Amino acid sequence: MKPGLLMLPSAVSDSRVHNILPNKIDTDFQFSRASSATRVNHQGLIENVGYFSDELVRNGDFSELGPEIIINGDFATDSDWTLGTGWTISNGKLRADNVSLINTFQAYVYTSGKTYKVTYTISDYVKGEVRFQLGGGGGTVNGTARDANGTYTEYIVATNNHTSARFRALSADGGFTGNIDNVSVKQVDPDNDWILGTGWSFSDNKVVFDGGADAAVTQSNTVEPSTLYRTSFTVADKTTGSLQLRLGNSAVVDVTVTDNGNFSFDLTTDASGTSVYFRAIGGFNGSLSNVSVKQILGDKPRLDYDPTNPTCPHLLLEPQSTNLIPFSEDFSNGWVNQNTIDTANQTTSPDGANNGTQLTNTTSSSNYIYRQVTLSTSTDYSISVFVKKGTSNIARLDTWDTTGSTQGSIQLNLDTEVTSIITGTASFEKYPNDWYKLKVSFTSSGSLGTTYYRIFNDDGVNGSYIYMFGAQLEQQSYCTSYIPTAGAAETRVRELLTKGGNVDTFNSTEGVLYAEIAALADNQTYRNISISDGVGTNAVRMNFNTTSNRISSINRVGGSNTAFISYDATDITQYQKVAFKFKLNDFAVYANGTEIGTDTSGAVNSAGAFNTLNFDQADGGSPFYGKVKSLATYNRALTDTELYTITSTQYSAYSGMVAALGNYTIPC
């Protein structure tokens, strides 16, 4: 009972799902998805899936420093410094006693236009002021005058090729008295990775713009033309203006950011240019940090796990979908609190990071956070969000418009898992660490006012809180996997799986097509798996179809159906083990260990008619979207006992069945 082709979702690589049998690269399935996506991993956590290059941006966190320039900055000896009158070195410190307008310095040639990070400590302060300076070489750059104990950090830009670093005692209070220690001077961005335009300056692990005339911070020779990249960065401290990202060609604006936050975009460079170029416009006053650019190298199939029982994976195939919520995790951007307060980074979120947001009630009624969304009338939509119990155990998700109409809603008791206040088709899914994914699908009204997406802490207790993460709004009839956003709507491109096997893999005169599959939703749409001649004229098909919960198996010869057997499952979103036997005048379908239909009259294809197995109807139409635990083809018509065995529900997976029978060992 060894199959001719066997695919279990256990081995994947760039743009491929590998067959276990036959173990030949030219029989592997070809996979495509021109974007990243998320899956649930074997720990039950959400993670991004895709092949990315190493980091391409150099010094993207603006933290790189050159070697230490100062010698004897801890003043362990009395050497290396030229002491002015009243300055001394003793007990490991530089000491000034009532010194006014006199310097202590150390010689070194600093480079004009470069930024230097300066740190030092003042202790035993008595009176007066002192400041750090770069001096000589035709000019002086002053640091900040200091008049208290403390450890200080300054970023100094050399305006000439200065010849010394020095401390100058000032004249305030008749002179400076105190100690200086732990002096360090290092060049910032020592490899000159970034070019800072006028108004930009280095600061602590970031670059800052001063609100002046438009100017850019640039890194050259970073990207290639006409290439797809994942680009991310952080904007903070913004009070005015905007920041543009121009990737590749500095003349082409790819993204304009107007808010603080962490941003991520998948962008394709144009046909010219190799730079990463951030331009401050409109009097931008703020900072830029954590710049990252990685090339998206390939499509990686998703081996997805049940979040509450992550043992054996399934292959997840989904249609294209867009998360229309621009900030799915940052609830401080574009969201409005109604008798609530949102506090970021308060608990471990479903992706394993510490970025779950706490939603706290400030009154005892009407407690929710919301953002305005745009819906078309009479259109299918789906909303979802992850919620977790805090001191409150009641969470609600809905969309509501100003005509007073609730478009879709679900309330969940996070202790009892009882749902209520349901509008539309609502459900929930349990995740590790007490998280729940609330899901609602609905068709919008024929008339809409201003519409809002709302998340409620719904226990009616002032001061109580829940946690939330991952808000999503999709224009389609069911919820799909999480699509993170960070500043704009994001699209996960559809997934296709085709071209498994070859003409030597299949027997077109008799055999069995077996699959353990589940639908993403009972949306009454054709979703096919087929062995065929590559165009569908001659084929064996298995599909979900346009009747609720119906699965059909079809044999086609010369463009006509010669056998057609259907059955209605209880719920096609639960796994179905289905085997379709085809042989001249002998067709049968077994499902979950039961024979559910036969056909004793019908032709089959001639030898050599089949050369591929596709997750569609063979010609690219009606692609299969769903979950696949296993798929196999057999090159002979199996007996009733064998058909019962491979579809029996006593085995949790195909691998368990063959292991129990002792046929051979295959991985989960």
Rounded Cα–Cα distance for residues 7 and 515 (Å): 10
Per-residue pLDDT tens for 476-529?
A: 999 999 999 988 899 999 999 999 999 999 999 999 999 999 999 999 999 999
pLDDT of residue 657: 67
Whether pLDDT at 660 is above 80 = no
Whether pLDDT at 245 is above 60 = yes
pLDDT of residue 580: 99
Task: Write down the CATH number for the domain with range 5-40+495-661.
Answer: 2.60.120.200
pLDDT of residue 417: 98
Average pLDDT over residues 596-614: 98
Per-residue pLDDT tens for 51-72?
A: 788 899 999 999 999 999 999 9
Average pLDDT over residues 71-86: 97
Task: Count the neighbouring beta carbons within 10 Å of the beta carbon of residue 412.
Answer: 26
Asked if domains 5-40+495-661 and 195-298 share a fold, the reply is: yes
Could you tell me the two tokens for 512?
């069995």
Whether pLDDT at 274 is above 90 = yes
Whether pLDDT at 666 is above 60 = no
What angle (nearest 5°) sits at the alpha carbon of residue 262, between those of residues 259 and 263?
Answer: 85
Residue at token pair 């009624």: 365
Strand partners, 177: 127
Rounded Cα–Cα distance for residues 433 and 353 (Å): 12
b or e along 146-167 (b: 16 or more beta carbons within 10 Å of the residue's beta carbon)? bbeeeeeebebbbebbbbbbbb
Architecture of domain 323-488: Sandwich (2.60)
pLDDT cut 70: percent of the chain above it:
98
pLDDT of residue 661: 59
Task: Write down the CATH number for the domain with range 87-187.
Answer: 2.60.120.260
The residues, any chain, with a CB within 8 Å of residue 520's CB and separated by 6 or more, are 318, 478, 480, 573, 625, 626, 627
Average pLDDT over residues 309-313: 88
pLDDT of residue 1: 73
Per-residue pLDDT tens for 109-161?
A: 999 999 999 999 999 999 999 999 999 999 999 999 999 999 999 999 999 99
All structural domains of the chain with their residue ranges: 5-40+495-661, 87-187, 195-298, 323-488
Rounded Cα–Cα distance for residues 19 and 501 (Å): 8
Rounded Cα–Cα distance for residues 193 and 5 (Å): 52
- Average pLDDT of the chain is 94
pLDDT band for position 662 (50/70/90)?
low
Average pLDDT over residues 527-543: 98
Quick one: which of 535, 498, 552 has its CA closest to 618? 535
pLDDT of residue 459: 98
Whether pLDDT at 573 is above 90 = yes
pLDDT band for position 30 (50/70/90)?
very high
Could you tell me the two tokens for 449?
């006012």
pLDDT of residue 659: 59
Query: For the whole model, what pTM was predicted?
Result: 0.78
Architecture of domain 195-298: Sandwich (2.60)
Rounded Cα–Cα distance for residues 333 and 345 (Å): 14
pLDDT of residue 658: 63
pLDDT band for position 655 (50/70/90)?
low
